[in-house]
Amino acid sequence: MKARHSLRGAIDLLFSRGSATAETYTRLVLKCVRANDVAAAKRLQSHMDLHSFQPTKTFVHNRILQLYAKYGNLADARNLFDKMPKRDIYSWNSMLSAYAKSGSLEELGTMFDQMPSRDLVSYNTVIAGAVANGCLSKALEAFVKMQEEGLEPSEHTFVSMLQACTRLLNFRIGKQIHGRVVVRNLEGNAFLLNALIDMYAKCSGIDQARWLFDWLVDKDVVSWNLMIFRYLKNGQPEKCIDLFRAMQASGLKPDQVAVSNVISAYFQTGNIVEAKKEFDGIKEKDKICWTTMIVGYAQVGREEDALILFAPKEECTRACINLLVALRGKPCRRLWRSQEEINLPIKVVTEISVLPDGQ
């Protein structure tokens, strides 16, 4: 915070003194980037515009552009991009990133088509942006096109494409990508292996995913969480619980995602005692944990206990409402009895009061 005040003070000083040298602008721009201070960067840019400063190289403008793109300041990024007397591949890629992060896929495609040249970063940005925004066919098109232009996919490319294959249930292309990962000896990349595990679990079969998981030497929390979650989604709560215990035995501490999944698994097996024990063992409970516990109680027919036990907690206000939505079709009015007895937060009382009887 002190550094940020110092930076903004230095920029204020510029306005009182007039124009500045390229060296001064460069130094201050780098400070803005290190501090992730978009407001300071905008003010510094306005000083450059005020004094008609035009850098001889693209470095200064590119760093500001990258900062705008990083934090989704699309309008500011485009404004600066249009003003730049010179642009290079970094300038174009920064704009691609800004459009991708904002979900502006039409503008992303237009910008991509207008580029005088493209590199691996350009394609990775378009592919990742398309996958993140659900345009999976566009991701596949870009993947094919980059190779037609002679560009070799990177680990980041493969991860994005595996995510697309997982969502499209396209095991054929997913398996081809796995083959290329093996040929290029990229199997040491945990991020990439996790994407492969998820693809196999969703597209081919949980057993193949487990084989790959067991083969992975340096499993991280994400690896364990993926397999635990996939067992849960596959209707195999016992294996989910066994793997959770194996995670603990490995010396790796499960995070709240893993614990929430194993709580759901215990509820699926009807073991409410163990589910409650895992929940009680969480020191700092987040909304996911509260919601998991409440929905679990609802699944085993203990809706009233869920409301009585958790409704007074501020953390579970949304979870309580989610429970009521999940119970649509049941005579929920009798579950609430009275606000005084169950002590529902006022927000919950307000929202459920608009539901008609029988919902």
Q: What is the pLDDT of residues 169-211, one digit of tens each?
A: 999 999 999 999 999 999 888 889 999 999 999 998 899 999 9
Range of the domain at 152: 118-216
Burial class (CB in 10 A: 0-12, 13-18, 19+), 359: middle
Instruction: Answer yes or no: is pLDDT of 120 > 60.
Output: yes
Task: Report the pLDDT averaged over residues 57-66.
Answer: 94
Q: Which stretches of 216-302 are DSSP H helices?
A: 221-233, 237-249, 256-269, 272-280, 287-299
pLDDT mean across residues, the chain: 85
Instruction: Please list, in sequence order, all residues whose beta carbon lies within 8 angstroms of the beta carbon of residue 175, skipping any fewer than 6 positions away.
Output: 204
Does one domain contain both 151 and 184? Answer: yes
What confidence category does residue 349 fall into, taking pLDDT thresholds of 50, 70 and 90? very low
Does one domain contain both 97 and 124? Answer: no
Portion of the chain with pLDDT greater than 70, in percent: 83
In a domain, 193, yes or no: yes
Does one domain contain both 100 and 125? Answer: no
Task: Report the pLDDT averaged over residues 70-75.
Answer: 91
Does one domain contain both 62 and 93? Answer: yes
Portion of the chain with pLDDT greater than 90, in percent: 64
Instruction: Single out the residue in 92, 114, 136 at which a domain terminates.
Output: 114
12 sits in which H/E element:
helix 2-17
In a domain, 169, yes or no: yes
End-to-end alpha carbon distance in the chain: 50
Q: Which of 331, 322, 273 is nearest to 294 (CA)?
A: 322
Does one domain contain both 107 and 124? Answer: no
In a domain, 323, yes or no: no
Does one domain contain both 41 and 94? Answer: yes
Does one domain contain both 183 and 76? Answer: no
pLDDT digits (tens, 9 = 90+) for 246-265: 999 999 999 999 999 999 99
Burial class (CB in 10 A: 0-12, 13-18, 19+), 334: exposed
Does residue 98 contact residue 77 with C-beta atoms inside 8 Å? Answer: yes
Instruction: Please list, in sequence order, all residues whose beta carbon lies within 8 angstroms of the beta carbon of residue 157, skipping any fewer than 6 positions away.
Output: 120, 123, 124, 127, 143, 146
In a domain, 326, yes or no: no
Burial class (CB in 10 A: 0-12, 13-18, 19+), 144: exposed
Helix pair 272-280, 287-299: axis angle to 10 deg? 170
Residue with tokens 């996790």: 194
Instruction: Answer yes or no: is pLDDT of 335 > 50.
Output: no
- Assign residue 136 the CATH number of its domain: 1.25.40
pLDDT score, position 127: 97
Instruction: Answer yes or no: is pLDDT of 328 > 80.
Output: no
Instruction: Single out the residue in 114, 149, 173 at which a domain terminates.
Output: 114
pLDDT score, position 287: 79
Does one domain contain both 94 and 3? Answer: yes
Does one domain contain both 51 and 66? Answer: yes
In a domain, 246, yes or no: no
Does one domain contain both 185 and 124? Answer: yes
Q: Which two tokens stand for residue 279?
A: 């929940």
CA neighbours closer than 13 Å in the CB half-sphere of residue 183: 9
Residue with tokens 């529902």: 344
Q: Which of 49, 44, 50 is nearest to 68 (CA)?
A: 44
Does one domain contain both 70 and 145? Answer: no
Domain count, the chain: 2
pLDDT score, position 10: 86
Q: Which residues of 78-95 are buried (b: 16+ CB within 10 A; e: fewer)?
A: bebbeebeebebbbbbbb
Min mean pLDDT across 19-33, 88-102, 319-333 is at 319-333
Measure Cα distances from 57 to 76, 85, 145, 277, 308 in Å.
20, 9, 31, 62, 65
pLDDT score, position 17: 84
Does one domain contain both 4 and 107? Answer: yes
